[in-house]
């Protein structure tokens, strides 16, 4: 009897751990169960990928969907819909939500809210703070927990952890890699007058200068080394940080964002105003060039979106009262494909930064590769498609993108989440099927 599948992806160029291979992919029970010529196989559904590349689904390990929150803020339904429209099959949300994600009840509430509403798989960080430091070793092992996130610079409520004594206690309570927003709070306070006096977002990278980031990065690497605890430095922006982190990869992994790889100061602030405002800030061209060199030499391990949307009305507040953050989960893959088309990175490196890299850093079980027995998460892309990014295409509640009007080469054509076709030709399909991401360190505690 001929083998049958739930889904067969036919005729594509598949990015496997061994490289690009022309092959069919057979899916059953949400897993990859066959790679090869499946022309004669029966399938409940087929997807024609001729002329397309089949990539592992993008894992965006830094988003702010802010669920629950005010009505005009992002939520799980809109944020995850934006994700699958952009080829993202899993996201990790940060803990600076309302209410904060600090304990078991907060995490379980987020997982309940996501059931039947999230279009892709998901996990949630617990914030490390004075309020829960003694519980972190237990909290990081809960089902659906992406790990512990620390804010060394100003954040929401009690999540600020700016003193070395508290940071050392956080690092001593647990084993998983700790994600860190590394900006030095003392220097931020000392220099806040720069932003107030300038009253324009062009002052943002001057106020939150590279020394703000470097001081905090050096501190957390020193503390992580002393504690024997690996750290993951988020949204690295400066040449100085990269030079330092390149010498400390035994303890620290490194993330950057598409915003910092694509925009540069002062042009972005003159053109976009506070729509280009985020923390840490977009910096000058010398820093962007350093980020691309770090992509090439392997210093950077992963790319996240740092998706943090605000309404245009909020963004129009006078600087510095205008909020920091911009949408990005939907544009992450299209922008990276365009950078690839311009020769800035290879397709293999793109896959490593968006899929296999997150798998390695966070110990994700069954995601990040197209291989036998792994989750059938695919981002199917047309490397030659020419499109224009528009506000109308954006599924986030905010309804805008700083990249509106940008023409790109390379586009996600379909998104498959554990064998379910979630998006095809820019249309989100079916019903939300997202489930909690599994991690090796939490499987026993499920």
| Contact by Cβ (8 Å): 87, 379 | yes
Give the pLDDT score at 3. 84
- Name the residues annotated as catalytic: 306
Which residue bears the tokens 């324009």? 200
Distance CA(30)–CA(19), nearest Å, equals 22
Mean pLDDT of 245-265: 98
Mean pLDDT of 159-178: 97
Q: Output the CA–CA distances (angstroms, integers) from residue 322 to 67, 275, 376, 399, 413, in the order listed.
A: 21, 9, 41, 18, 35
Distance CA(172)–CA(158), nearest Å, equals 19
Going from the N-terminus, what domains does the chain have, and what CATH number goes with each?
Answer: 4-54+372-383+408-441 (2.30.40.10), 58-362 (3.20.20.140)
CA-based torsion, 31, 33, 36, 42: positive or negative? negative
Give the pLDDT score at 68. 54
Helix (H, G, I), strand (E, B) or coil at 136: helix
Q: Where are the alpha helices (DSSP H) in 115-230?
A: 136-139, 164-172, 185-190, 192-198, 204-207, 210-227
| Contact by Cβ (8 Å): 358, 88 | no
Give the pLDDT score at 70. 47
Asked if the model's pLDDT at residue 443 lies above 90, the reply is: no
Mean pLDDT of 98-125: 96
Confidence of residue 398 (pLDDT cuts 50, 70, 90): very high
User: What would the two tokens of residue 214 be?
Assistant: 């470097």
- 10 Å CB burial of residue 135 (0-12, 13-18, 19+) is middle
Distance CA(173)–CA(136), nearest Å, equals 6
Helix (H, G, I), strand (E, B) or coil at 58: strand
Q: Output the CA–CA distances (angstroms, integers) from residue 114 to 91, 138, 143, 265, 422, in the order listed.
A: 12, 22, 14, 37, 16
Instruction: Tell me the pLDDT of the chain averaged across its residues.
Output: 96
Q: What predicted TM-score, i.e. pTM, was given to this entire model? A: 0.97
Give the pLDDT score at 320. 96
Region of 199 please: left (phi>0), alpha (psi -120 to 50) or beta.
left
Distance CA(59)–CA(64), nearest Å, equals 14
User: What would the two tokens of residue 190 be?
Assistant: 């000392």
Please report the beta strands in 330-393, taking only residues with DSSP state E, as ranges in sequence order. Answer: 378-388
**145: Cβ contacts below 8 Å, ≥ 6 apart:** 107, 123, 124, 125, 126, 139, 439, 442
Helix (H, G, I), strand (E, B) or coil at 336: helix
Confidence of residue 72 (pLDDT cuts 50, 70, 90): low
Hey, which residues does 231 pair with through a beta bridge?
Answer: 178, 252
Give the pLDDT score at 67. 65
Confidence of residue 97 (pLDDT cuts 50, 70, 90): confident
| Contact by Cβ (8 Å): 224, 252 | yes
Give the pLDDT score at 154. 81
User: What would the two tokens of residue 385 be?
Assistant: 């498609």
Distance CA(179)–CA(361), nearest Å, equals 10
Distance CA(284)–CA(257), nearest Å, equals 15
Distance CA(30)–CA(234), nearest Å, equals 31
């Amino acid at each position: 009897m001929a083998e049958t599948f739930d889904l067969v992806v036919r005729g594509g160029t598949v990015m496997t751990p061994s490289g690009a291979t022309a092959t069919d992919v057979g899916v059953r029970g949400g897993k990859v169960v066959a790679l090869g010529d499946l022309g004669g196989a029966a399938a409940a559904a087929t997807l024609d990928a001729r002329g397309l590349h089949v990539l592992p689904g993008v894992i965006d390990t830094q988003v702010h969907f802010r669920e629950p929150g005010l009505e005009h803020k992002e939520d799980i339904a809109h944020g995850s819909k934006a994700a699958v429209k952009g080829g993202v099959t899993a996201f990790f949300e940060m803990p600076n939500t309302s209410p904060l994600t600090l304990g078991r009840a907060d995490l379980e509430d987020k997982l309940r809210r996501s059931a039947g509403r999230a279009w892709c798989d998901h996990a949630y960080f617990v914030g490390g703070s004075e309020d829960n430091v003694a519980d972190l070793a237990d909290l990081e092992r809960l089902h659906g927990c992406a790990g512990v996130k620390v804010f060394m610079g100003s954040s929401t409520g009690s999540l600020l952890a700016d003193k070395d004594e508290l940071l050392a206690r956080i690092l001593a309570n647990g084993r998983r890699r700790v994600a860190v927003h590394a900006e030095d709070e003392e220097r931020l306070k000392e220099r806040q007058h720069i932003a107030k006096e300038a009253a324009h977002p062009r002052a943002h990278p001057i106020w939150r200068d590279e020394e703000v980031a470097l001081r905090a990065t050096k501190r957390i690497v020193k503390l992580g080394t002393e504690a024997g605890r690996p750290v993951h430095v988020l949204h690295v922006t400066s040449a100085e940080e990269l030079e330092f982190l390149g010498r400390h990869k035994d303890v620290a992994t490194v993330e950057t964002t598409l915003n910092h790889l694509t925009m540069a100061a002062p042009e972005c602030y003159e053109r976009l105003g506070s729509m280009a405002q985020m923390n840490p800030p977009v910096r000058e061209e010398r820093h962007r060039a350093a980020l691309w060199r770090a992509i090439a030499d392997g210093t950077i391990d992963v790319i996240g979106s740092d998706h943090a949307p605000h309404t245009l009305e909020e963004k129009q507040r006078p600087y510095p009262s205008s909020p920091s953050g911009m949408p990005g989960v939907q544009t992450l893959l299209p922008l990276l494909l365009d950078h690839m088309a311009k020769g800035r990175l290879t397709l293999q490196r793109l896959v490593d930064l968006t899929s296999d890299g997150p798998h390695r850093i966070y110990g994700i079980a069954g995601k990040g590769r197209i291989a036998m027995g792994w989750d059938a998460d695919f981002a199917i892309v047309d490397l030659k498609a020419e499109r224009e990014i528009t506000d109308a295409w954006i599924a986030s509640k905010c309804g805008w993108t700083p990249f509106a009007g940008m023409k790109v080469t390379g586009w996600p054509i379909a998104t498959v989440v554990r064998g379910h076709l979630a998006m095809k030709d820019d249309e989100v399909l079916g019903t939300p099927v997202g489930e909690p991401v599994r991690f090796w360190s939490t499987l026993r505690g499920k």
